[in-house]
Amino acid sequence: MARLGMVIDLKRCVGCNACTVACKSENGTPPDIFFTRVLEQVAGQYPIVKKKYIPVLCNHCLDAPCVRVCPTGATYKRENGIVLVDYTKCIGCKACVVACPYNNRTLMPKGKLKEGHFKNHLTPYEQVKYKDFYEGVVVKCTFCYHRVDQGLEPACVNTCPAGARVFGDLHDPESEVSRLIRQRGGMQPMSEANTNPSVYYLE
Amino acid sequence: MAKVATHTKSGDKWVRSACKMCLHGCGIKVRVKDGVILKIEGDPDNANNMGKLCPKGQSGIMRHYDPNRIKTPVRRTNPQKGPGVDPKWEPISWNEALDIVGKRLKKIRSEDPRKLLVAINDFQRIHLWGWGAAFGTGHYFNTVGQFCGAAYHPFCGFFDGSFACANDYKYCNYWIQIGGGDGFGAHLHLSGSIKRMADARVNRGLKLIGVDPRMASYCAKADEWVPIIPGTDRAFILGMVYVILYELDRYDAEFIKKYTNGPYLIKPDGRYFRDKETQKPMVWDSVDNRAKVYDDPTIKDFTLEGYFKIDGIKVRPGFQVIKDTLKDHTPERMSKICDVSPGTMRRIAREFVEEARIGSTIMIEGKEYPYRPAAINFYRGAIGHYDGTLDHAAIKLMNSLVGNIDVPGGHLGVGLDHRLLIVEPGEDGMLKPQPHILHPGVPFAYPPQTLQMIEYFPMGLDPGHLVCHNILHPEEWGFDFKPEAALIFHSNPLKNINGYPKVLEVFKQLEFIVAIDILANESTEWADIILPDHDYLESTMLTLCEPPEVTGHTLRKPVVEPLYDSRDGHDILTDISERCGCLNELNGLLNFTMFIKPEYALKPGRKYSHLECIDRMAKSIYGEHMGLKWFQENNNAVRPQKPEECYLPWKGNRISFYHEYFLQVAEELQEQFRAVGREWDTSSYLAVPVWREEHPLHKIPGEYDLYAINFKAEAMLNHCENTTIPWIKELVSNIPIHKGVLINTKTAQAKGIKTGDRISIESPFGKVEGLARVIEEIHPRVIGISNAITRWTIHPVERKMNVNFNHLLPGNLEFTDLASGHQETATKVRISKI
């Protein structure tokens, strides 16, 4: 069985945030809700300064604490490794938000879907997109499973101008993701959390 | 079935088109379902951006559906005008609006067309920029060239017939980048450039040196960041040129001899030494040990170094003049100016020369070319200064020394459009200089007829920042008219032109403003009439603008029906032209600016729709079978450039190494000014770039202890006014460098300033306030202001931080590069906690 995952090449990423907007636009997330972001990390003192751009998203962990702690079974794992939230079962208790060591889950607060990016006005685009959401539930990156099911790459991968995001089957040794992890020494984020993420980073 | 984000495929379609969220025009595909736009992606079938799309391009949905768009022609009802004042617009009909505009402009045109200011800046409709000429006015009421490249484009055109330049992504291995975002955050066709650069860095191990006062994204990704004082990049470069000439003594002599005027003999007055009979420039043949005309077939070897006496006149090759001129530009002296250590200059110069692999060749498609995989690339940050022409010349000199101009791996010219590099034979065996690729040169006139005085910049681009000073001080140059109205078309002069107090005063004095746009901005909030244009998802245009590596047009086409009662901007201008009586002139102009061939020419006395014009343009460029219909069916004609189009394209003409042409232009200009009894400083028209102590930026009194720069070269910002788009606003609100005025930690500590403190920023020319953002990654003697915090429009989404950098700049001739017209884009300030 496939285990879908992503490799993020930090050497390639230029912090342009095309992924951030691709995700917003594909998933139609309301204001201030992001399924993926690009963090900026600055270290050192002038003039010896290093700045890194680090894209983050749900890691779709194999041993996902969010699945473990969910009291209603709303958070579940598909056979292909994608972790999803069933909005009809989610009660918004936020146990998963606390359990996620990566801070990649967000509560969709009450009233959020009325707000709109232009304040008290929902564009035709938002009217369509918001039909897919519930208020009072926890939301997060879905690895664009609706695209993946159609044989497409997740939106962030599709647009990334730098080619910094690669998507594929971690179980297939011949896949691009497996090859990159092998050849470039892919690292899972916060390995000490023992969650076995499906997202790997290349330095 | 779990209720999670689902998308059904029924009723869905993907429409291929062209982006317009910056000036370029990547291929896009747009998902439309039941008439609603749901997604914009890069078009994988476009060789330009190869399926990639930057954050701006994807945000087009939020601009399209912005409820603040102008929905119908509107008329101002509030006579009060000013920043933040609600115009209280009321809708009117198209006929009424066009009649009001037509009547007003017709009257002006009959009295004195120069009373109309024109600001037309839609980069995908460059063919409309000259509309003022059809009307009868030559003013350029904006400053796009000042924040882009007055010292950039004309010099490119002079140098190798290009409009822009970039290093060769395909083969370059050692890339020095100064004040520009190519491949990371800005400039030519961003999405494709990021991909090309990332592939070069990761797959091929390209080494990158980033030179910038602040750590821009390209410096963050560079192997080495070299912080530098603003406006001193030329000192850094010339220090390295000194190392190459005097310490390493390694340069591409064969290239200079064969492809440039480096061997031409120069007289003590700096001009060519010419053969008495033929008047051709002469060179020295070192084998026969005598002078010969440059194209004498018996020349055995061209001499680059040495001193000769012919007929009692001391002469030396241009190369020797350059070497002699720069003998005091030691890294030690240059270091004191630019604050880069002499050791760093020596190391980078050595790496650059070694990596250039002088003498090596490469086979491409069966032809052998020189292979020089090291090059310096740059953009506005490096040349947007007083003496910007010399900055540009210094960079071209260092590139030329290793023979990397327009060869694989090196520094390549980029054409503005399908014409690619404009290669025509000039005089003396040289390539014909093409400094006026945007519009023909404007002949000398006194008094000047254009408020930007383009008549006095034969090697420059319209210095629009001079317009307001000249309106307010007409006596200085003898202007005998006063503008009373402005036409603003996708432009924002009040925000863009530097010397804000002067621009504000001009806006107060204008009696009538008509604007054509999709949204109001700082300037068009002052309009009396606004006429709504279609946006790019509702309209048709054949787009192409400065792509590196590829060429050919992409068709922008309507993806959805127009949301509102808007019309195509081109047709609006045609209607206005008809009403004010300059339709024939417009047709004539479009024949020229849209490259329309005689058999498709627009004829006098007829009104043409923009679709007809585009059809004729396409057929003129691609042939009868490839008109608008072909593009509607096939979307784009984009293809990779052929090697012979971009490598060694000069067809036997030499490129300029020693810029004798500048001396010639300066002499002509001096004669013209003498004849009218006025003076003009041409001291910066130099054949050899040097460091000049005259630089007024560095002479600003010491009480202004910090340099101040602004920056736009980040992917979500460049080349576009997009901070009114919620998705972009969300992005920049979360990125530290766009949250306030950037100050180095040590500097901030010394001044008792912390992140979040409100500070005052004062230059000799103006004052603004802002929130401090203390960071490590900026030079301690520099503060940086992101373009994301400069706006104050009444648009409800905008953050309105209004740290408008242009308040701090003078907008005058003193701070203008008199060779190119570029304004000095940095200034000096003092800051304090409020």
Of A37, A132, A160, nearest to B6 by CB-CB distance is A132
pLDDT confidence tier of residue B598, bands split at 50, 70 and 90:
very high
Question: Tens of pLDDT along B461-480?
Answer: 999 999 999 999 999 999 99
Where is average pLDDT lowest: A5-9, B203-207, B682-686, B789-793?
B789-793
CA B115 to chain centre: 28
Select from A10, A26, A32, A51 the residue whose CB has the most chain B CBs within 10 Å, as the one to mutate to test that interface. Answer: A51
Binary contact (A87, B2; C-beta < 8 A) = yes
- Asked if B781 has any chain A CB less than 8 Å from its own CB, the reply is no
Q: How many domains does chain B have?
A: 4
Judge whether residue A167 has pLDDT over 90: yes
Question: Tens of pLDDT along B331-380?
Answer: 999 999 999 999 999 999 999 999 999 999 999 999 999 999 999 999 99
Looking at the fold, whether B94 and B204 belong to one and the same domain comes out as no
Looking at the fold, whether B29 and B128 belong to one and the same domain comes out as no
Judge whether residue A38 has pLDDT over 90: yes
Tokens 């606003």, located at residue:
B729
The domain in which residue B712 lies consists of 696-833
- Looking at the domain assignment, is residue B419 inside a domain? no
pLDDT confidence tier of residue B712, bands split at 50, 70 and 90:
confident
What share of chain B has pLDDT > 70, as a percent? Answer: 99
What phi, psi does A56 have (nearest 5°)? -130, 150
pLDDT value at residue B7: 42
* CA distances, B725 to each of A125, B353, B494 (Å): 14, 45, 20
Binary contact (B225, A11; C-beta < 8 A) = no
pLDDT value at residue B719: 74
The domain in which residue A49 lies consists of 4-202
Question: Tens of pLDDT along B248-292?
Answer: 999 999 999 999 999 999 999 999 999 999 999 999 999 999 999
Question: Tens of pLDDT along B536-572?
Answer: 999 999 998 788 999 999 999 999 999 999 999 999 9
Looking at the fold, whether B512 and B471 belong to one and the same domain comes out as yes
Last residue of a domain, one of B618, B635, B652: B635
Q: Name all contacts of B682-686 with Cβ < 8 Å and 24+ positions apart.
A: B682/B818, B682/B819, B684/B387, B684/B389, B684/B390, B684/B817, B684/B818, B684/B819, B685/B459, B685/B819, B686/B390, B686/B393, B686/B659, B686/B662
pLDDT mean over A124-128: 97
Tokens 């509107």, located at residue:
B74
pLDDT value at residue B4: 39
pLDDT mean over B593-599: 98
Instruction: Enumerate the H helices of A13-154 as residue ranges.
Output: 18-27, 65-69, 95-99, 112-115, 124-129, 145-148
Select from B24, B561, B777 the residue whose CB has the most chain A CBs within 10 Å, as the one to mutate to test that interface. Answer: B777
* CA distances, B142 to each of B65, B122, B267, B596 (Å): 28, 12, 41, 27
Binary contact (B2, A84; C-beta < 8 A) = yes
Judge whether residue B678 has pLDDT over 80: yes
- Looking at the domain assignment, is residue B124 inside a domain? yes
Tokens 């601009």, located at residue:
B63
Binary contact (A21, B33; C-beta < 8 A) = no
Q: How many domains does chain A have?
A: 1
- Asked if B372 has any chain A CB less than 8 Å from its own CB, the reply is no
pLDDT value at residue B68: 96
CATH assignment at residue B319: 3.40.228.10
- Looking at the domain assignment, is residue B653 inside a domain? no
Binary contact (A12, B776; C-beta < 8 A) = no
CATH assignment at residue A167: 3.30.70.20
Looking at the fold, whether B467 and B557 belong to one and the same domain comes out as yes
- Asked if B8 has any chain A CB less than 8 Å from its own CB, the reply is no
Looking at the fold, whether B284 and B191 belong to one and the same domain comes out as yes
- Looking at the domain assignment, is residue B322 inside a domain? yes
Binary contact (B730, A123; C-beta < 8 A) = no
pLDDT mean over B40-57: 96
Question: Tens of pLDDT along B504-514?
Answer: 999 999 999 99
CA atoms within 13 A on the CB side of B816: 32
- Rounded to a whole number of angstroms, the distance from the CA of A101 to the nearest CA of chain B is 21
pLDDT mean over B165-194: 96
Structure tokens at B21: 């969220």
CATH assignment at residue B56: 2.20.25.90
Judge whether residue B8 has pLDDT over 50: no
pLDDT value at residue B618: 98
Give the 3-state secondary structure of B344-408.
HHHHHHHHHHHHCCCCCEEEECCEEEECCCEEEEECHHHHCCCCHHHHHHHHHHHHHHCCCECCC
For residues B552 and B639, is the Cβ–Cβ distance under 8 A? Answer: yes
Looking at the fold, whether B172 and B297 belong to one and the same domain comes out as yes
Question: Tens of pLDDT along B410-464?
Answer: 999 999 999 999 999 999 999 999 999 988 999 999 999 999 999 999 999 999 9
What angle (nearest 5°) sits at the alpha carbon of residue B13, between those of residues B8 and B16?
Answer: 140
ipTM: 0.98
pLDDT confidence tier of residue B723, bands split at 50, 70 and 90:
confident
Alpha-carbon span B678 to B739, nearest angstrom = 48
Of B4, B68, B183, nearest to A142 by CB-CB distance is B4
Select from A12, A13, A14, A134 the residue whose CB has the most chain B CBs within 10 Å, as the one to mutate to test that interface. Answer: A14
pLDDT value at residue B365: 97
Q: What is the mean pLDDT of chain B?
A: 96
Which residues in chain A are contacts of B59 at CB distance < 8 A?
A: 21, 25
Judge whether residue B5 has pLDDT over 70: no
Binary contact (A46, B744; C-beta < 8 A) = yes
Looking at the fold, whether B391 and B453 belong to one and the same domain comes out as no
Select from A19, A23, A25 the residue whose CB has the most chain B CBs within 10 Å, as the one to mutate to test that interface. Answer: A25
Measured between CA atoms, the residue of chain A closest to residue B776 is A46
Binary contact (A31, B37; C-beta < 8 A) = no
- Asked if A8 has any chain B CB less than 8 Å from its own CB, the reply is no
Looking at the fold, whether B512 and B629 belong to one and the same domain comes out as yes
CA atoms within 13 A on the CB side of B253: 10
* A 158-197 residues inside an 8 A Cβ radius of B: 158-164
Tell me how many residue pairs between chain A and chain B have CB atoms under 8 A apart.
183
CATH assignment at residue B565: 3.40.50.740
- The three-state secondary structure class of A165 is strand
pLDDT value at residue B162: 97
pLDDT value at residue B148: 77
For residues B361 and B370, is the Cβ–Cβ distance under 8 A? Answer: yes
Binary contact (B38, A142; C-beta < 8 A) = no
Alpha-carbon span B822 to B393, nearest angstrom = 14
- Asked if B286 has any chain A CB less than 8 Å from its own CB, the reply is no
pLDDT value at residue B155: 97
Residue B751 DSSP label: T
Looking at the fold, whether B452 and B339 belong to one and the same domain comes out as no
Question: Tens of pLDDT along B488-528?
Answer: 999 999 999 999 999 999 999 999 999 999 999 999 999 99
pLDDT value at residue B6: 38
Question: Tens of pLDDT along B638-657?
Answer: 999 999 999 999 999 999 99
Of A12, A117, A159, nearest to B41 by CB-CB distance is A159
